[in-house]
Structure 1
Amino acid sequence: MSELDKMLSGDIYDPSDEVLSDMRLKARNLTFKYNQTTRMQKDEREKILHELLGSIEGNIKIEPNFNCDYGRNISVGNNFYVNFGCVILDCAEVMIGNNCFIGPQVGIYTACHPINPIERNSGSEFAKPIVIGDNCWIGGHATINPGVILGNNVVVASGSVVTKCFPDNVVIGGNPARILKKVEL
């Protein structure tokens, strides 16, 4: 099994693998290029995002600076907006639904490191996918941790650290995030 296959299946993998290193370099080059564009270069931005991301289902807008590990493991739905300074570590799949809005300085992290210091110091990693449902709003400076699934219509309060999964129609907040109230439809 290749290191890429291990990474995508959630197994321990070696991130220094040549294929993975080349993939990250490609993503770094594309995000650098994207982050140098202006709003007036809409067509160029769209072209770069289509080359960088795994799939785009419709209209999206990502404000620079945007950074990710691979890009190709990120899938977004229609009407997707990302404010300034977003980082997505997409060592595993990151699937984001339709009509989602991400505030400034949000971190979405699939990457994990072993708890055991000897294993961690070896450089090995593993990753857990993240799923964000439709109609979600993630407030500024929020952190979404590995393995989290957010249902539809979830609002994440600014500054929250999301460490577990949450159902549809809730407002969550805090560190660690907890349900603050239901979303009335």
Structure 2
Amino acid sequence: MTEKEKMLAGELYFPSDKTLSALRKQCRIKLDELNSICQSEHKTRTRLLKALFGSTGKRLYIESSFKCDYGENIHVGENFYANFNCVILDAAKVTIGNNCMIAPQVGLYTATHPIDPAQRATGIEFAKPITIGDNCWIGGMAVINPGVTLGDNVVVASGAVVTKSFGDNVVIGGNPAKVLKQVNLETSKS
């Protein structure tokens, strides 16, 4: 297997591999272009994001500055919005559903490292995918860790550190995040 294939399969891989390094460099060139374009040039920004990401809905918008590792491993649904200083480390697949909003300074991190210090010192790492359902809102400065899945209609409180998966219709917060309350869809419509 190539290092990229290992990375995408969730196995240990070396990110310093020439192919992976070249892919990250290409991504950074695209990000430099995206982040240098005026926010008012919405159509140009959307075109660049559609070319950067693995797949998107028709409507998406991301404020600058935006950072990611590869871009091609990010898949967002219809009506996606991310505010200032969003970071998505996409060494594994990141899937975000329809009608999702991300507040400022949010991080979604698929990349992780071995716990053993000798193994970690070699530079090896691995990645776990992140999946976020439809109609989710992630509050400012929240962190979504590797391997997390969030169901539909989840609200993540500002500053939360999400270390495990949660099902549908919950508000989560804290470090580590826990369920704060249920989302009542009947009362939330009014």
Aligned to 2:4: 4
Counterpart of 1:4 in 2: which secondary structure? helix
2:40 equivalent to 1:54: no
Aligned to 1:107: 107
Give 4+ residue runs of structure 1 displaced > 6 Å after superposition.
Answer: none
Aligned to 2:19: 19
Computed over aligned residues only, the root mean square deviation of the Cα atoms, in angstroms, reads 0.6
Q: What is the deviation of 1:40?
A: 2.7
CA distance in 1, matches of 2:79, 2:104: 17
Which residue identity lines up with residue 64 of structure 2 in the other structure?
P
TM norm structure 2: 0.96
Q: What is the deviation of 1:151?
A: 0.2
Aligned to 2:163: 163
Aligned to 2:91: 91
TM norm structure 1: 0.99
CA distance in 1, matches of 2:97, 2:135: 7
CA distance in 2, matches of 1:46, 1:129: 24
Aligned to 1:44: 44
Q: What is the deviation of 1:57?
A: 1.7
Which residue identity lines up with residue 163 of structure 2 in the other structure?
T
CA distance in 2, matches of 1:4, 1:48: 23
CA distance in 1, matches of 2:47, 2:156: 30
Q: What is the deviation of 1:127?
A: 0.1
Q: How many residues align?
A: 185
Deviations 1:131-153 (A, max 9, x none): 00000000000000000000000
Identity over aligned pairs, percent: 60
